[in-house]
Amino acid sequence: MHPHRTDRPAVIVDPFSSGGLYAPAFAAAGVPVVAVVSHREIHPVYADSYHPDDFTEVLSLHGREEEVVARLRELDPLCILPGADIGVGPADRLAAAVLPATANPAGLADARRHKYAMALAVADAGLPVLRQLCSDDPAEVAAWIERTGLTGRDLVVKPPKSASTDGVTRIPGGRGWQEAFAAQLGHLNQWQAVNDQMLVQEYATGTEYVVDVFSHDGRHTVADVCRYRKVDSGGHMAVYESLAWVPEDDPVVPELVRYTEGVLDAVGFRWGAAHVEVMMTADGPRLIEVNARPHGGGHPRFCRLATGDSQVDRAVRHFTGQGPVEAGYRLQQHVRVVFLISRTAGTVRNAEVFDRLAALPSHHSSLLSVGNGDHVDVTKDLLDTLALGFVVLAGKDAATVEDDHAAVRRITSELVVEPDGPTV
- Tens digit of each residue's pLDDT (9 = 90 or more) over 348-390: 999 999 999 999 999 999 999 889 999 988 888 777 777 788 9
Identity at 291, one-letter amino acid code: N
In 156-250, alpha helices (H):
177-184
Residue 372, judged by CB atoms within 10 A of its CB (0-12, 13-18, 19+), counts as exposed
218 lies in the same domain as 278: yes
CA gap 273, 295 in Å, rounded: 8
238 lies in the same domain as 321: yes
Tell whether pTM > 0.75.
Answer: yes
Residue 106, judged by CB atoms within 10 A of its CB (0-12, 13-18, 19+), counts as middle
* Predicted local confidence at residue 424, as pLDDT: 42
122 domain residue, yes or no: no
Last residue of a domain, one of 313, 332, 351: 332
| Stretch 388-400: mean pLDDT | 96
Check pLDDT > 60 for residue 237. no
42 domain residue, yes or no: yes
Write the CATH number for 212. Answer: 3.30.470.20
342 lies in the same domain as 409: yes
Q: What are phi and psi of 263, to 5 degrees?
A: -65, -45
120 domain residue, yes or no: no
52 domain residue, yes or no: yes
Write the CATH number for 345. Answer: 3.90.1170.30
CA gap 295, 243 in Å, rounded: 12
Write the CATH number for 39. Answer: 3.40.50
* Predicted local confidence at residue 303, as pLDDT: 98
212 lies in the same domain as 281: yes
225 lies in the same domain as 185: no
Residue 272's CB is within 10 A of a number of other CB atoms, namely 28
Check pLDDT > 80 for residue 188. no
Strand 272-281, strand 284-291: pairing? antiparallel
115 domain residue, yes or no: no
* Predicted local confidence at residue 170, as pLDDT: 84
| Domain coverage including residue 76 | 10-103
294 domain residue, yes or no: yes
> Structural domain tally of the chain?
4
Q: Is 126 left (phi over 0), alpha (psi -120 to 50) or beta?
A: left
Q: What is the dihedral of CA 126, 131, 134, 139, to 10 degrees?
A: 140
179 domain residue, yes or no: yes
Q: 165: pLDDT confidence band, cut at 50, 70 and 90?
A: low
Last residue of a domain, one of 299, 332, 365: 332
Strand 219-233, strand 207-216: pairing? antiparallel
Q: Measure the CA angle with vertex 368, ends 364 and 370; round to 5°.
A: 165
CA gap 165, 171 in Å, rounded: 15
Instruction: For the chain, give the percent of residues with pLDDT over 90.
Output: 75
Last residue of a domain, one of 178, 202, 226: 202
* Predicted local confidence at residue 183, as pLDDT: 86
Write the CATH number for 174. Answer: 3.30.1490.20
161 lies in the same domain as 230: no
Residues recorded for the chain: 424
Per-residue pLDDT tens digits for 196-206: 889 999 999 99
- What is the SS3 assignment for 383? helix
Per-residue pLDDT tens digits for 35-77: 999 998 888 888 889 999 999 999 999 999 999 999 999 999 9
Q: What b/e string do you get for 53-63 counting C-beta neighbours within 10 Å, with b at 16 or more?
A: ebbeeebebee
Q: 234: pLDDT confidence band, cut at 50, 70 and 90?
A: low
Q: What are phi and psi of 202, to 5 degrees?
A: -65, 145
46 lies in the same domain as 158: no
* Predicted local confidence at residue 334, as pLDDT: 98
243 lies in the same domain as 311: yes
164 lies in the same domain as 79: no
90 lies in the same domain as 22: yes
Q: 217: pLDDT confidence band, cut at 50, 70 and 90?
A: very high
182 lies in the same domain as 222: no
Per-residue pLDDT tens digits for 127-160: 999 999 999 999 999 999 999 999 999 999 888 8
Q: 344: pLDDT confidence band, cut at 50, 70 and 90?
A: confident
98 lies in the same domain as 149: no
Q: 2: pLDDT confidence band, cut at 50, 70 and 90?
A: very low
